[in-house]
């Protein structure tokens, strides 16, 4: 099938390469000329394991191409909108690029094409996009679907091609059947529902994950007061079949990225527009907002002195291990909070791009963890890169200043706690007893 994929950053690059791998002829469309030129060379805007190889494979055989020409949709039987929906400073989704693009492609669409939205959007947006296109082109009789993504940075190709399940949102049998033809080689179970349910399912999933995290943050705080260990408590919870081993129960300084908070705010806003209260969702939102705001006070308690004019270091500032993006990363947000508190902040990350760091972060980027630790009173582990398992803790301590705090906000070094303390570091895990 001839398919157009519109919007080419992380989501679009994965969808376009994956559809080609599923046997379709795919054209990726984006108005950013640099992005298109790079993709034509097999260079993705955000790298993922296996993605460059997949791009090269299908570029070479001609089943995948890229262009800035929106009129190219005219030859396509299906069009997928795959923008990574921008999130504003207040964690609100910014939909203007989706609406503007829908209006641009409307005059060129095959009137009977399948139009499917993959981007994360507020409930009701898919139908609104179609309504706007019909205003521009009244002759459209497109089938409409919502096909929510469930990608995770660092393993996005597997998430798309080998998912646990596939959600298909469509209001007609014909739309469902046409989408099924496209994804038939994906062997995961299907969950079929109407478009509104599929949109709401994406909100609900992210809100549930955020609720799990906020819950364990509360338990982590109580563990610190009781002398309990939150990692043991989390293990006990995961062992219960009603919760499960993959539950989001990792104590940290808060969740980041904007995606979870965006869906929380979308649900709260939708509830208020209908005169409803959602106190659980609002509480999750508040818990995460307050958690990172309290980091300065928490560090002052650990260090025993005011933070102003101190030097601290952050290990890991990318959004996740295995990716180079700093967009809405927790490490970058913490650097801003600490800088505002008068702290001199340095950071080290195996993949953080210097240019993006200088544009987004307020601090200095070191060439290695030991340069970062120079004269630091404390170092915070934020993004748990596997490379950090190889740290020389004695060398790290030699570079630092009293009290040599290593604050493991992910409990990443739990198994090496004794070694770390023997190296002379004041080791503190999140929600765990302090010796």
- 358-395 per-position pLDDT tens digit: 898 888 999 999 999 999 999 999 999 999 999 999 99
User: For residue 279, is pLDDT > 80?
Assistant: yes
Residue 1 has pLDDT above 90, yes or no: yes
Contact in structure between 287 and 253 (CB atoms under 8 Å) = no
- Of the chain, the percentage scoring pLDDT greater than 90 comes to 86
Half-sphere exposure (Cβ direction) of 37: Cα atoms closer than 13 Å: 3
Q: Where are the alpha helices (DSSP H) in 191-307?
A: 195-226, 230-238, 259-273, 279-293, 295-303
Summarised one tens digit per residue, pLDDT across range 10-48 is: 999 999 999 999 999 999 999 999 999 999 999 999 999
Q: What is the pLDDT of residue 251?
A: 93
Count the alpha carbons within 13 Å of 306 in the hemisphere toward its beta carbon.
4
Query: How would you list the strands of the sheet with 364-365, edge to edge?
Result: 364-365, 344-348, 311-315, 378-381, 405-408, 426-429
pTM for the whole structure:
0.88
pLDDT in tens, 196-240: 999 999 999 999 999 999 999 999 999 999 999 999 999 999 999
Cβ–Cβ < 8 Å for 177, 15: no
The pLDDT mean for the chain works out to: 94
Which domains are delineated in the chain? 2-193 (3.40.50.720), 195-292 (1.10.1040.10), 294-435 (3.40.50.720)
With 90 as the cut, is the pLDDT of residue 115 above it? Answer: yes
Q: What DSSP element (H or E) covers 406?
A: strand 405-408
- Torsion of the alpha carbons at 149, 155, 161 and 162, rounded to the nearest 10: -100
With a CB cutoff of 8 Å and minimum separation 6, the contacts of 307 are 296, 299, 300, 338, 341, 342, 343
Q: How confident is the model at residue 257 (pLDDT cuts 50, 70, 90)?
A: low
- In this prediction, residue 88 carries a pLDDT of 73
Upstream peptide bond of 403 is cis (omega within 30 degrees of 0): yes
pLDDT of the residue at 191: 97
Q: Which two tokens stand for residue 246?
A: 């993959």
């Amino acid at each position: 099938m001839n398919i157009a994929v519109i919007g080419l950053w992380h989501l679009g690059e994965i969808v376009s390469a994956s559809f080609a791998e599923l046997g379709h002829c795919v054209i990726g469309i984006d108005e950013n000329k640099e992005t298109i030129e790079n993709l034509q060379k097999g260079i993705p805007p955000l790298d993922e394991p296996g993605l460059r190889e997949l791009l090269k494979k299908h570029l070479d055989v001609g089943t995948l191409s890229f262009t800035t020409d929106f009129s190219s949709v005219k030859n396509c039987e299906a069009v997928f909108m795959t923008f990574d929906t921008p999130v504003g400073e207040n964690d609100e989704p910014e939909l203007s690029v989706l609406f503007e693009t829908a209006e641009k492609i409307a005059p060129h669409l095959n009137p009977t094409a399948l139009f499917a939205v993959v981007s994360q959007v507020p409930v009701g947006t898919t139908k609104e996009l179609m309504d706007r296109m019909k205003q521009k082109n009244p002759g459209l009789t497109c089938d409409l679907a919502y096909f929510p993504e469930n990608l995770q940075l660092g393993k996005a190709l597997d998430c798309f091609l080998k998912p646990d399940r596939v959600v298909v949102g469509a209001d007609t049998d014909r739309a469902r059947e046409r989408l099924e033809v496209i994804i038939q080689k994906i062997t995961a179970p299907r969950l079929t529902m109407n478009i509104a349910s599929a949109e709401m399912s994406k909100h609900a999933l992210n809100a549930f994950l955020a609720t799990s995290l906020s819950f364990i943050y509360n338990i982590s705080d109580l563990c610190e007061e009781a002398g309990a260990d939150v990692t043991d408590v989390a293990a006990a919870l995961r062992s219960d079949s009603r919760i499960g081993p993959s539950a989001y129960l990792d104590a940290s300084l808060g969740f980041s990225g904007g995606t979870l908070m965006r869906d929380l705010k979308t649900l709260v806003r939708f509830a208020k527009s209908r005169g409803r209260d959602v106190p659980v969702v609002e509480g999750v939102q508040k818990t995460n907002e307050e958690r990172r705001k309290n980091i300065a006070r928490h560090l002052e308690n650990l260090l025993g002195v005011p933070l102003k004019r101190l030097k601290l270091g952050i290990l890991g500032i990318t959004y996740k291990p295995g990716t180079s993006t700093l967009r809405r990363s927790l490490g970058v947000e913490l650097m801003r909070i600490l800088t505002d508190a008068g702290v001199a902040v340095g950071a080290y990350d195996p993949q953080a791009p210097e240019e993006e760091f200088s544009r987004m972060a307020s601090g200095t980027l070191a060439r290695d963890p030991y340069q970062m630790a120079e004269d630091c009173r404390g170092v915070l582990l934020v993004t748990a890169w596997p490379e950090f398992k190889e740290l020389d803790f004695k060398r790290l301590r030699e570079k630092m200043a009293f009290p040599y705090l290593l604050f493991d906000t992910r409990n990443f070094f739990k198994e090496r706690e004794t070694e770390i303390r023997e190296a002379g570091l004041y080791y503190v895990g999140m929600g765990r007893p302090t010796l």
